[in-house]
Amino acid sequence: MAAKKKKKAAKKAAKKAAKKPAKKAAKKVKAKTKRKPNAAFMKAVTPSAELAAVVGASAMPRTEITKRLWAYIRKNGLQDSQNRRNINADDKLKAVFKKGVVNMFEMTKLVAKHLS
């Protein structure tokens, strides 16, 4: 009985070995280059007076405006505690959003109207 079990185990091991592909050739490894920022994102834009009250009046890239806007939201605790996707606007943000509660995805569309 023990001999039969050993034979079965040997057959299973042989099947597994047959299913495994031969060792693959070494993959070509590309040298990673540092990503270039998109020029459209890095172009300086000027915020409107309402948005400047939140992020500052100087011209800056869109990415920096978004960073400063989120810093303002976190600093003042304006992110909804139940639904984290919503932002509860205070007086300064109501001037920008024209609403009391804004979805974070809708926020970028509303902020874009205040950039030139």
Domain boundaries, the chain: 62-116
- Assign domain 62-116 to a CATH class: mainly alpha
Q: Which residues pair with 87 in a beta bridge?
A: 79, 102
The CA distance from 21 to 111, in Å, is 54
Please tell me the pTM assigned to this model: 0.66
Show pLDDT as tens, one digit a residue, over the chain (116 residues).
677 777 777 777 777 666 656 555 556 666 778 888 778 778 999 999 999 999 999 999 999 999 999 999 999 999 999 999 999 999 999 999 999 999 999 999 999 999 98
What residues have CB less than 8 Å from 72, skipping those under 6 apart? 54, 55, 78, 93
